[in-house]
Amino acid sequence: MAKKHIYRVANDDVRREAQAAVAAIPITEGLFVIISEETRTLEQNALLWPCLRLFARNVKLAVDGEMALMDEETWKDVMTGAFTGEQARMVKYGGALILVGRSTSQMGKKEFADFLTFILSEMAARGLVLPARYSDDIAEYISRYGGCRENVEVRGASRLAGEASSAEGAPSTVGLESDFRRGK
């Protein structure tokens, strides 16, 4: 099995060690040097699901001409598409068209913090209330990884989501239009 070297560049000593390792690589076929941002962890991904659960239980989407509550996985696909501004990817397999959502596992920690900020702003716009035990953890993550995007104050979005009240517990039928898009 090929050897794999991973350096978490946390200080100048590690940076120099990584530079020396790259300089010592023989020029040959089959070797790659990849530098990437650290991706979000499973623990960080777990921050997303209480938010998606609120959407799944409270907000209806237009599906085949009918307003319906959808599951958390569907909301993840909807929200990642709304966040990135990507059109849905359709795959034809076995004669069926299948909607393929974007995975968050390859998002860097900053991009995932931006995504959580987007989710909080969408929740606040719909008056969805996230229990403090979740909103505090999300606000801490966003604050740590710099997920505050223009025109969205992280603590304010979290606070608004925590203070808003839903209209007599009735599911919302509001669409997902938002000016908060990646890159804006």
Whether 111 and 45 have beta carbons less than 8 Å apart is answered as: no
Q: Taking 50 as the threshold, does the pLDDT of residue 161 lie above it?
A: no
Higher-confidence residue of 57 and 157: namely 57
- Strand partners for 100: 89
The structural domains of the chain, with segments of one domain joined by +, span 42-163
The pLDDT assigned to 91 comes to: 77
> At the top level of CATH, which class does the domain 42-163 belong to?
mainly alpha
Residue in the structure block whose two tokens are 């790259």:
22
Q: What does the alpha-carbon distance between residue 61 and residue 78 come to, in Å, rounded to a whole number?
A: 10
Reported confidence tier of residue 76, pLDDT bands at 50, 70, 90: very high
Put residue 95 in one of left, alpha, beta given phi > 0 → left and psi -120 to 50 → alpha: left
3-state secondary structure 23-82: HCCCCCCCCCCCCCCCECCHHHHCCHHHHHHHHHHHEEEEECCEEEECCHHHHHHHHHHH
Higher-confidence residue of 121 and 147: namely 121
- Strand partners for 67: 62
Structure tokens belonging to residue 84: 């990135």
